[in-house]
Amino acid sequence: MQKQWLQEKWKKLLEHLWNLRSLKVRLFVLILVVGTIPSILMCNVIVSNYEERSVGLRVNTVQNQLKILANHLIYYNYLESSTSETINAELEMLSNLYDGRVQIVGGNFKVVKDTYGLSQGKIMISEGVIRCFNGESTSNYLPDLGYIEMTTPITEKVIELTPQGEKETTVVRGVMLTSISNESIVSTREVLERNAIILQGVMLVFIIGLALVLAEFLTRPFEKITQSIRGVKEGHVDKMVAVPDYSETVHIVDAFNQLLGRMKMLDESRQEFVSNVSHELKTPLTSMKVLSDALLSNPDTPAEIYREFMEDIGAEIDRENQIINDLLALVKMDKTAADLNVSAVNMNELTELILKRLRPLARKRDVEVLFESFRTVIADVDEVKMTLIISNLVDNAIKYNKEHGLVKISLNADHQFFTIEVQDTGIGIPEDDLAQIYERFYRVDKSHAREVAGTGLGLAITRNAVLMHKGTITVSSKVGEGTIFVVKIPLTHIVG
């Protein structure tokens, strides 16, 4: 079981590693790099520092001993005769101690003593030796050759008689040229390097482990989000569970839940719309069915009743037709919200034309229609949609009016907007209904509305058309006194 889990984890990790766009992989790589680079640098600095310091210390120690030896050389006059047993023993001991070679160069650059016995009696002139004869000790680390080379002046203090009195001066009598092995330093460095590699290996394993755990841990909230979205997608839940680990995840979940809420609302309103449409389409059909059934079941129906029923059926067909036309207009408007067919339209002429069409209806209902125009208004509008707006409002003002009623249409404009006001002396709209009149299929008083032909879609269409023109529509009404609709639209069309 454990083995299988590990195998799965390993497979998942390898899959992830190929995917550099994954946040988990990026975190893993970041932690790995941030964790390993300093440790590698630290180990390297420690090792190279060790070598530098060890060489410096070794040079100091040896130089001090060589200085003491240089005094002994002067004391035993070794540069003149190199026979002193004591000095020879000291030189031998020094070269053994540091696994090196000491050469004593006399004033004439002649090698007086070489612990290796190779250059004795030969002339030794090198840059280091010459600089040393000028009183300067030198040291030179040659790691590739495996030794440290140094020169030490053999000095003697001499008292000179000058006209000013006695003066003590230091004279360089010879030079000690010493090379010592760096083997012990190198071997210690190698041990250190080996330890450093082991340490780095252990740290690398630790950092990889840490990076894996942290990458997994830090990205877990995003996995929770994915799981939650999957749950919503599969329909187990209708809301995402909270993931309060980071403020970012809280924002994602909030935004997603808001989106879900909106989608739910849209879905509900779509369902409601479909059921309203079905209901509204069914009503005239039911009436027609009842009327035709009545006629069929009674073959002796008098001709005038027959005619009346047939007229009713015709009216229901008209109503059905009207609903379908209105629905089509509404759906078309939803679909083509972006593309208005805008042109410069003379609003006065357009209104006159619409009123001419509606006046017969007004006359039939004994309603007077007045048009008041304050100036000539030319506006960038969609003529067809503008016609829908005006005719719907005036049609309502006539339909929901009283006998001998009045409908007054006013057209005015300022430098930015034009306004159409449709005022009637009709039945009015109760305050509670005012907010809903623009909803699809909403009719204020269903029983009364039945007497007046209508679909409940006119104002929904009107409002849509106004909004498409980036305009506003407002209503104020008093039951029994009348209603005023005011439409305000920009004279120049605003795109976007």
Which range of residues in 117-125, 224-232, 270-278, 427-435 is near ligand ADP by CB under 6 A? 427-435
Based on the shown chain and the rule CB under 6 A, indicate whether residue 400 belongs to the binding site for ligand ADP.
yes
Q: How far is the CB of 16 from ligand ADP (least distance, A)?
A: 59
Q: What are the tokens at 115?
A: 């612990």
- Residues 431-470, one symbol each (x = binds ligand ADP by CB under 6 A, - = not), give ------x----xxx----x----xxxxxxx----------
Integer CA distances (angstroms), 393 to 96, 326, 333, 475, 485, in order = 119, 14, 18, 11, 7
Based on the shown chain and the rule CB under 6 A, indicate whether residue 333 belongs to the binding site for ligand ADP.
no
322 Cβ partners below 8 Å, 6+ apart? 453, 455
Identify residue 111 by its one-letter amino acid code.
Answer: V
Q: How many CA atoms lie within 13 A of 83 on its CB side?
A: 2
Q: How far is the CB of 252 from ligand ADP (least distance, A)?
A: 41
Q: How far is the CB of 494 from ligand ADP (least distance, A)?
A: 26
Q: Are 142 and 120 in contact (CB under 8 A)?
A: no
Which range of residues in 36-44, 311-319, 371-379, 395-403 is near ligand ADP by CB under 6 A? 395-403
Q: How far is the CB of 479 from ligand ADP (least distance, A)?
A: 9
* DSSP 8-state secondary structure symbol assigned to residue 123: B
Q: How far is the CB of 456 from ligand ADP (least distance, A)?
A: 4
Number of residues interacting with ligand ADP: please give it, by CB under 6 A: 22
Q: How far is the CB of 289 from ligand ADP (least distance, A)?
A: 23
Based on the shown chain and the rule CB under 6 A, indicate whether residue 178 belongs to the binding site for ligand ADP.
no
Pick from 113, 104, 98: nearest CA to 154: 104
* DSSP 8-state secondary structure symbol assigned to residue 78: T
Based on the shown chain and the rule CB under 6 A, indicate whether residue 429 belongs to the binding site for ligand ADP.
yes
Based on the shown chain and the rule CB under 6 A, indicate whether residue 397 belongs to the binding site for ligand ADP.
yes
Identify which of residues 92 and 318 has a Cβ nearer to ligand ADP in the complex: 318
Q: How far is the CB of 462 from ligand ADP (least distance, A)?
A: 7
Of all helices (H) and strands (E), which one includes residue 350? helix 347-364
Polymer length in residues for the chain: 496
Distance CA 289, CA 311 (A): 14
Identify which of residues 174 and 454 has a Cβ nearer to ligand ADP in the complex: 454
Based on the shown chain and the rule CB under 6 A, indicate whether residue 104 belongs to the binding site for ligand ADP.
no
Integer CA distances (angstroms), 369 to 72, 290, 351, 447, in order = 137, 38, 12, 26
Identify which of residues 140 and 436 has a Cβ nearer to ligand ADP in the complex: 436
Q: Are 251 and 224 in contact (CB under 8 A)?
A: no
Based on the shown chain and the rule CB under 6 A, indicate whether residue 471 belongs to the binding site for ligand ADP.
no
Among 351, 396, 423, 425, binds ligand ADP (CB under 6 A): 396
Which range of residues in 18-26, 292-300, 367-375, 392-400 is near ligand ADP by CB under 6 A? 392-400
Which range of residues in 214-222, 273-281, 344-352, 394-402 is near ligand ADP by CB under 6 A? 394-402
* DSSP 8-state secondary structure symbol assigned to residue 109: S
Among 100, 174, 426, 471, binds ligand ADP (CB under 6 A): 426
223-282 positions binding ligand ADP, by CB under 6 A: none
- Residues 476-495, one symbol each (x = binds ligand ADP by CB under 6 A, - = not), give -------x------------
Alpha-helix runs per DSSP H in 76-115: 85-97
Burial bucket for residue 138 (CB in 10 Å: 0-12, 13-18, 19+): middle
Identify which of residues 111 and 389 has a Cβ nearer to ligand ADP in the complex: 389
Complete edge-to-edge strand list for the sheet that includes strand 368-373:
368-373, 406-413, 417-424, 482-490, 472-478
Q: Are 46 and 188 in contact (CB under 8 A)?
A: no
Q: Quote helix, strand, coil % in the chain, to nearest 5.
A: 55, 20, 25
Instruction: Give the interface with ligand ADP as residue ranges (CB under 6 A).
Output: 392, 396-397, 400, 424, 426-429, 437, 442-444, 449, 454-460, 483
